[in-house]
Amino acid sequence: MQVKTPDWVKHAVFYQIFPDRFARTMRQSRPPEMQVPLEPWESLPTLNGYKGGDLWGVAEKLSYLQDLGVTAIYFTPIFQSASNHRYHTHDYYQVDPLLGGNAAFFDLLKAAHQRDIKVVLDGVFNHASRGFFYFNDILENGPTSPWIDWFRVERWPLSAYDGELPANYTSWVNNRALPQFNHENAQVREYIMQVGEYWIEQGVDGWRLDVPFEIQVEGFWQEFRARIKAVNPEAYIVGEIWTDARHWLDGTQFDGVMNYLFAGPTLAFTAGSRIVMPLVETPEYHPYPPLDAAGYASKMKTLLELYPWEIQLAQLNLISSHDIARAISVMGEDTASFELAVLLQMTFPGAPSIYYGDEVGLLGGLDPDCRRSFPSEERWNQSLLKLHQDLIALRHQSEALRVGDYRAIAAQNDCYVFARTLPQETVIVAVNVGETYAKVEIPQPKLRQQPGKKLFGDGRCSWQGDALTVEVSSRSGLIVGNA
């Protein structure tokens, strides 16, 4: 079958926002449910506390995002919930009141679309919460609840809160706060499909699907894709899959996945032995052991052979997220390592995804520390911000960096060189993670053109006949393009 993914994703730069921590609105006319005590914005995050970021606050920051070069926002959950991360969904049709409710969301969606910024929501369809009405009815009415078959009740009585007693119902990773849907139930399946359709009909541009591998009912995700694409063929469907995703990227389910298979090796290459192991031993993305250039080239070759090219161009390429420690902290706060990882992220096939605050040097360890509040401007790392702005602008200017073929042309010691090519454009990218200057001679790179104009970085490319010499300073990168 012919695989088709949304064209806009191939050219997008995403910005992932954890809504409680990005921006509080400056507007005075807030509804009463937003006028509540909150944790201090600058204090470190806690598991249960609220900082009070909201969607009007995001709308007020759209100029900042546009100046950064962002063209799409991925929000972690925004629906009504009794948790700051909102993965405990109470109501799939109501935006959380602390975020400003549906009114704030629709204001934001309109404002984003006026700036040609897409909006992708987080779909938590494997499990709900104890406060979800249909499960709450079971807690109140026991075996007489009309929605008893929406979940998997094992025996009575249920214990939703007392950990001294067995929960007696199936929950995600045995967390009794997250009762798991019975996806075999036709009404549950239809309910989720209609939720998915509804928000696309309201103008949302796609869904990021939380733990979709947990839903194993045959045909479920195929139907979800068919129904979402029937509403908007260009809607983006991206799954949270941490490992080999070929099962879900066959063209009948997801357009792409959160590309942790890119993140892990990229950090292992750029940071090497600087990786802070206690921050990476639990999550399943493995930015260790250290990789040299040949090891990184091998990892990228394997990754690019996993899926069809059309799928590769729709991957969500991240180096940080709300589920892992922030990349700069993982790298022992080594700025050079982080800058090289960002360079590789911005030049790889697929859509780069910036985790809010990474671009200004926001630190963060494992959850909840990776969910710190966006810092005030006087605390921004301005050089990192400029790096992101420059690399994003270069990506927007270069069609080859967005959709061009990708081929490694050299991997010597600590220096990795690759080319992104189209018939009319060739871009060469070199990354030297070593502590010394690197000079790489490539007798036959076999490129369509011989680019030599420096577009970014510290070093140079020179040609002698068909032979290419690349020179790159220590711990730095270089991008050259057509003259």
| Same-domain status, 373 and 295 | yes
Q: Which of 397, 417, 445 is the last residue of a domain?
A: 397
Q: Do 124 and 210 form a contact (C-beta atoms < 8 A)?
A: yes
Containing 410, the helix (H) or strand (E) segment is strand 405-412
The answer to whether residue 214 scores a pLDDT higher than 80 is: yes
- Does some domain include residue 36? yes
Q: Which of 344, 373, 397 is the last residue of a domain?
A: 397
Q: Is 80 helix (H, G, I), strand (E, B) or coil?
A: strand
| Same-domain status, 323 and 384 | yes
Please measure the distance between the N-terminal and C-terminal CA atoms of the chain and give it in whole angstroms: 40
How many CB atoms lie under 10 A from the CB of residue 483? 8
Task: Determine the angle formed by the axes of helices 335-346 and 382-397, rounding to 10 degrees.
Answer: 20
251: left (phi over 0), alpha (psi -120 to 50) or beta: left
Catalytic-residue membership of 310: no
- Does some domain include residue 12? yes
Q: pLDDT above 70 covers what percent of the chain?
A: 100
Q: Is 332 helix (H, G, I), strand (E, B) or coil?
A: coil
* CATH number of the domain encompassing residue 414: 2.60.40.1180
| Same-domain status, 20 and 90 | yes
- Does some domain include residue 133? no
Please state, in angstroms and rounded to a whole number, the distance separating the CA atoms of residues 390 and 135. Answer: 49
CA distances from 232 to 1, 200, 207, 299, 332 (A): 20, 7, 12, 35, 43
Please state, in angstroms and rounded to a whole number, the distance separating the CA atoms of residues 155 and 221. Answer: 30
The answer to whether residue 483 scores a pLDDT higher than 70 is: no
pLDDT computed for residue 413 by the predictor: 97
Q: How confident is the model at residue 2 (pLDDT cuts 50, 70, 90)?
A: confident
CA distances from 309 to 83, 209, 304, 364, 475 (A): 39, 22, 8, 34, 31
The answer to whether residue 206 scores a pLDDT higher than 80 is: yes
- Over residues 184-197, the mean pLDDT reads 98
Domain total for the chain?
2
| Same-domain status, 33 and 109 | yes
- Does some domain include residue 229? yes
Q: Which of 210, 255, 323, 414 is catalytic?
A: 210
CA dihedral over 450, 456, 457, 458, signed as positive or negative = positive
The answer to whether residue 1 scores a pLDDT higher than 80 is: no
Q: Which of 240, 292, 358, 471 is catalytic?
A: 240
- Residues 72-111: pLDDT tens digits? 999 999 999 999 999 999 999 999 999 999 999 999 999 9
Question: Letter for the amino acid at 447?
Answer: L
Please state, in angstroms and rounded to a whole number, the distance separating the CA atoms of residues 434 and 312. Answer: 29
- Does some domain include residue 160? no
- Does some domain include residue 465? yes
| Same-domain status, 436 and 288 | no
Q: Which residues pair with 478 in a beta bridge?
A: 430, 457
| Same-domain status, 251 and 324 | yes
| Same-domain status, 108 and 16 | yes
- Residues 435-465: pLDDT tens digits? 999 999 999 899 989 999 999 999 999 999 9
How does the average pLDDT of the chain come out, rounded?
97
- Residues 106-152: pLDDT tens digits? 999 999 999 999 999 999 999 999 999 999 999 999 999 999 999 99
Catalytic-residue membership of 210: yes
- Does some domain include residue 164? no
Containing 354, the helix (H) or strand (E) segment is strand 351-355
Which domain range does residue 217 map to? 7-126+181-397
* CATH number of the domain encompassing residue 18: 3.20.20.80
- Over residues 249-268, the mean pLDDT reads 98
- Does some domain include residue 135? no
Please state, in angstroms and rounded to a whole number, the distance separating the CA atoms of residues 447 and 422. Answer: 10
Give the start-end residues of each E strand in 380-437.
405-412, 415-422, 425-432
Containing 239, the helix (H) or strand (E) segment is strand 236-239
| Same-domain status, 268 and 389 | yes
- Over residues 184-207, the mean pLDDT reads 98
Peptide bond before residue 19 is cis, with ω within 30 degrees of 0: no
- Residues 25-64: pLDDT tens digits? 999 899 999 999 999 999 999 999 999 999 999 999 999 9
| Same-domain status, 393 and 411 | no
| Same-domain status, 204 and 98 | yes
How many CB atoms lie under 10 A from the CB of residue 117? 21
How far is C-alpha 186 from the geometric centre of its chain's CA atoms? 31
| Same-domain status, 371 and 414 | no
- Over residues 473-477, the mean pLDDT reads 98
CA dihedral over 269, 270, 274, 278, signed as positive or negative = negative
| Same-domain status, 429 and 308 | no
Q: Do 326 and 306 form a contact (C-beta atoms < 8 A)?
A: no
The answer to whether residue 199 scores a pLDDT higher than 90 is: yes
Containing 310, the helix (H) or strand (E) segment is helix 309-312
Q: Which of 366, 397, 428 is the last residue of a domain?
A: 397
Q: Do 175 and 159 form a contact (C-beta atoms < 8 A)?
A: no
Q: Do 429 and 418 form a contact (C-beta atoms < 8 A)?
A: yes
Q: Is 202 exposed, middle or buried (0-12, 13-18, 19+ CB in 10 A)?
A: exposed
